Amino acid sequence: MKAHTVLFLICLLDLGRLMLAGSSFSFKENFDVMWAPDHFSTSEDGQTWYLTLDKKTGCGFQTKNRYRFGWFSMKLKLVGGDSAGVVTAYYMISDTGKERDELDFEFLGNRTGQPYTLQTNIYKGGVGGREMRHMLWFDPTKDFHTYSFLWNDHQIVFFVDRVPIRIYKNTDATKDVFPNEKPMYMFSSIWNADDWATRGGLEKTDWKNAPFVSTYKDFHVEACQWEDPYPACVSTTTQNWWDQYDAWILSDGQKVDFSWVGRNLVIYDYCTDTTRYPKLPAECSVSPWH
């Protein structure tokens, strides 16, 4: 076995142990509530966090620090029951301006008994329109599941419970649309989006079911922490495993999982939407195996 592969596996084992210990990080150490603090609450030990949406407002929080490249992970349990019109968002964003970079997990609620849709999107310089939608292979309202970003200068990978569901590569074809220059905050929110979120806005939020609550815990980050005017990398490992060769490509096992997701769970891919994009964006020609 090659030395860099052994190193990568050791780092993954260390990461697993750290993630198990992730509950030691308090909310106050990592985050600020950005709006509606009266719609934010925690468990008695402060390790589980609740965001509430009612007819008045939703709620959101973001990391105190900005990061440029790394591994970012959170466990979420989504609103149960009739959640049509409700969006729980978990994303990375450089700022809220028109020229922002952004990586999105958006969980689109549905009528009782219907599955959630997971939408992902990628912005560079304020330009998005790179939506993919997946069905999940479990009920995300029954228990916590882990949602993660791997972001380095070679690829962005969206993970659900360690299964890669989306890959976005940095190549000559994508260098102008790959978000790799701006540091980003991690942000989470719950909000009403019944003008578009469920069946294109046909299903409206039923406020009789309010309040709607999304639940978070076990935030974990290993990343390059940005400090103006220069980035100072802060990592729990001497070798930043998330920027080593084995984090630039999928492992054989990840390729199998990713292929299974592509065959069974993708319900929309902008790269196949020729009505919307008669000329497909350049990044659509890039193989995820590159």
List the catalytic residue out of 29, 44, 102, 181.
102
How many C-beta neighbours within 10 Å does residue 129 have? Answer: 12
Beta-bridge partner residues of 103: 92, 122
CB-count burial class (<10 Å; 0-12, 13-18, 19+) for 30: middle
* CA gap 28, 50 in Å, rounded: 14
Across the chain, which distance is largest between two alpha carbons, in Å? 59
- Cis, peptide link before residue 211, omega less than 30° from 0: yes
List the catalytic residue out of 29, 44, 106, 283.
106
Q: Are 32 and 62 contacting, i.e. CB atoms less than 8 angstroms apart?
A: yes
**Annotation marks residue 106 as catalytic:** yes
**Percent helix / strand / coil, the chain, rounded to 5:** 20, 40, 40
Q: Are 122 and 91 contacting, i.e. CB atoms less than 8 angstroms apart?
A: no
How many C-beta neighbours within 10 Å does residue 100 have? Answer: 18
Task: Decide: helix, strand or coil at residue 138.
Answer: coil
Please give the torsion angle defined by the CA atoms of residues 85, 123, 105 and 36, in that order, rounded to the nearest 10 degrees.
Answer: -60
The residue whose two tokens read 């920027």 is 243
**Annotation marks residue 99 as catalytic:** no
* CA gap 38, 30 in Å, rounded: 19
Please give the torsion angle defined by the CA atoms of residues 20, 154, 258 and 120, in that order, rounded to the nearest 10 degrees.
Answer: 80
Please identify every residue annotated as catalytic.
102, 106
